Chain A
Amino acid sequence: MSMEAITDKHGVKRYLITLNVNGDSYTKVVKGNTVLVNVLRDDLDLTGTKKGCELGDCGSCTVLMDGKPVNSCLVLAVEADGREITTIEGLAQHEQLDRLQDSFVNHAAVQCGYCTPGMIMSAKALLSKNPDPTEQEVREAIAGNLCRCTGYVNIVKAVLAAAKAEGGAAR
């Protein structure tokens, strides 16, 4: 194994990993079975990323890994070694909310708020790849993010409006 491991007196192995999270580099010591979401929440205090089903169904733990949305509950921390991670905390720049975040607020796309961070990360990945999506494409992109308040109508509106606003700025 190429990764450095430290074995403690109980025989438990720990590994040294380096994560780039929201542009900052962190070096952490993690157990082999630690999942990424727990490093983000417990070690780095980035509690914007939520835990729901912890089985990859609900999407509340969605973060971007090298720009692509993944369920951070199903990614081992050691597997994220050397990768670039973006969480919801990484979107606002200098206290200025991301256009998507603004749009969610303005369209009342946030009800209880639990799904919101994951929902926005999925939408962010979509707009980076496809700045002018159709409603169908938006729905497909967020299909892995469950909103149990069932506020999908406004969520879809918010994403489409953010896309429009971004397109406008580019033109």
Chain B
Amino acid sequence: MDQFGARGKVLAGGTDVLSMMKQGLLAPEVLVSLKNLAELKQIYADPARGVVIGALATHNDLADSPVLQERYLSLCQTAHHMANNQVRNTGTAGGNLVNAVPSADLPPLLIALGAAVTLVSTGGSRTVKLEEFFTGPRMTVKKDNEILTEIVIPDNSFTGSTYHKFGLRRSGALAVVGVAVAVAMEGDLCRDVRIALGAVAPTPIRAFKAEEVLKNRPVTDQLLEEVGRCAAGESNPISDIRGSKEYRQDMIRVFTRRMLKKAISEGHV
């Protein structure tokens, strides 16, 4: 990638790059395929680092991964409900992040789980927290000469997590809003929580104020409603063909409440 700079593009599953090229939205001189880097397809638990997801793992690889099914079933569910089966067989986790579309489905849950990504170039490698990775629609901190090699979910105290993509159809529709939560429960007290929202701002965002509202107070339906309201207030969605700003904010309220309830009572689902 050093050699081509901005003239080159990485090709992973191609589900986005090739659609964009066909629509004339992208015209790289050189496509560099990663397909021969088989080691970047692995998903495994590393005792020192946590759960490692190779950038080239496809959405169906995530959905079918025994490690994820045991540790973060929520991530398998998220991957399983993305796109359609054909796209899930070719589209990759790394591509979904680097693409940096505000409505993408993997970023919110991975942010809620505290994931980081590894960026590698000939100059070396660096680790970036996923929540600091996105800078705007289709923009990230990744430099042209860097390749995203893996996603790491560090071991944590979360007892539950879940994601809901609220779309207009069950399949093949982009998220109107996406709500991910991860909670660390101790009895009926929530000791730690991360709420990440997709499709409601130029990048996925965390609802920091809402998180504080929930922490260390006995969980009741009223409290969850209050957290939902707070999260809605923190979001800054646009109005477009998929929904108005007001509608999106109200859906954030509803799904933040519901997802928290689900993760609190059902674990990683």
Compute how far the CA of A122 lies from the CA of B90 in the bound complex, rounded to whole angstroms: 14
Are B172 and A143 neighbours in the complex by a CB distance under 8 Å? yes
Are A79 and B84 neighbours in the complex by a CB distance under 8 Å? no
Are B14 and A75 neighbours in the complex by a CB distance under 8 Å? yes
Minimum C-beta distance from A127 to chain B (A): 13
Minimum C-beta distance from A158 to chain B (A): 18
Determine whether A133 belongs to the interface, using a CB cutoff of 8 Å to chain B. no
Determine whether A32 belongs to the interface, using a CB cutoff of 8 Å to chain B. yes
* Size of A's binding interface in residues, CB under 8 A: 28
Determine whether A84 belongs to the interface, using a CB cutoff of 8 Å to chain B. no
Q: Size range of the interface on B? A: 20 to 34
Give which listed residue, B21, B87, B170, contacts A56 with CB less than 8 A.
B87
Are B170 and A143 neighbours in the complex by a CB distance under 8 Å? yes
**CB within 8 Å of B: which of A69-91?**
69-71, 73-76, 78-79
Are B15 and A74 neighbours in the complex by a CB distance under 8 Å? yes
Compute how far the CA of A144 lies from the CA of B170 in the bound complex, rounded to whole angstroms: 11
Mask, A35-46, CB within 8 Å of B = 1, is 100000000000
Binds A, one of B28-36, B127-135, B245-253: B28-36
Are A55 and B33 neighbours in the complex by a CB distance under 8 Å? no
Mask, B215-251, CB within 8 Å of A = 1, is 0000000000000000000000000000000000000
Contacts of A73 in B (CB 8 A): 18
Are A56 and B15 neighbours in the complex by a CB distance under 8 Å? yes
Contacts of A75 in B (CB 8 A): 14, 90
Contacts A74-B15, A75-B14 given; indicate if A69 touches B85 (C-beta within 8 A): yes
Contacts of B21 in A (CB 8 A): 33
Give which listed residue, B14, B84, B87, contacts A76 with CB less than 8 A.
B14
Compute how far the CA of A56 lies from the CA of B22 in the bound complex, rounded to whole angstroms: 11
Determine whether B171 belongs to the interface, using a CB cutoff of 8 Å to chain A. yes
Are B89 and A143 neighbours in the complex by a CB distance under 8 Å? no
Determine whether B189 belongs to the interface, using a CB cutoff of 8 Å to chain A. no
Minimum C-beta distance from B26 to chain A (A): 12
Are A79 and B36 neighbours in the complex by a CB distance under 8 Å? no
Main secondary structure of the interface of B (DSSP, over half): mixed
Give which listed residue, B14, B85, B90, contacts A141 with CB less than 8 A.
B85
Determine whether A166 belongs to the interface, using a CB cutoff of 8 Å to chain B. no
Contacts of B172 in A (CB 8 A): 57, 143-144
Are B90 and A74 neighbours in the complex by a CB distance under 8 Å? yes
Minimum C-beta distance from B206 to chain A (A): 31
Residue of B nearest to A71 (CB): B86
Mask, B55-94, CB within 8 Å of A = 1, is 0000010000000000000000000000111110110000
Compute how far the CA of A78 lies from the CA of B33 in the bound complex, rounded to whole angstroms: 10
Mask, B1-36, CB within 8 Å of A = 1, is 000000000010011001101110000000101011
Are B86 and A70 neighbours in the complex by a CB distance under 8 Å? yes
Contacts of A132 in B (CB 8 A): none
Residue of A nearest to B169 (CB): A143
Determine whether A59 belongs to the interface, using a CB cutoff of 8 Å to chain B. yes
Determine whether A98 belongs to the interface, using a CB cutoff of 8 Å to chain B. no
Contacts of A62 in B (CB 8 A): 86
Compute how far the CA of A59 lies from the CA of B85 in the bound complex, rounded to whole angstroms: 10
Known A-B contacts: A71-B90, A74-B90, A143-B172. Give 13 more (CB < 8 A). Answer: A2-B36, A55-B23, A56-B19, A69-B89, A74-B19, A74-B87, A78-B33, A79-B14, A122-B85, A140-B85, A141-B85, A143-B85, A143-B170
Give 23 CB contacts A-B under 8 Å.
A32-B31, A33-B21, A55-B19, A55-B22, A59-B86, A62-B86, A69-B85, A70-B89, A70-B90, A74-B14, A74-B19, A76-B11, A76-B14, A76-B31, A76-B33, A78-B33, A79-B11, A125-B85, A140-B171, A141-B85, A143-B170, A143-B172, A144-B87
Q: Which 7 pairs from chain A and chain B are nearest by CB?
A: A144-B84, A143-B171, A68-B89, A71-B86, A144-B86, A55-B19, A143-B84
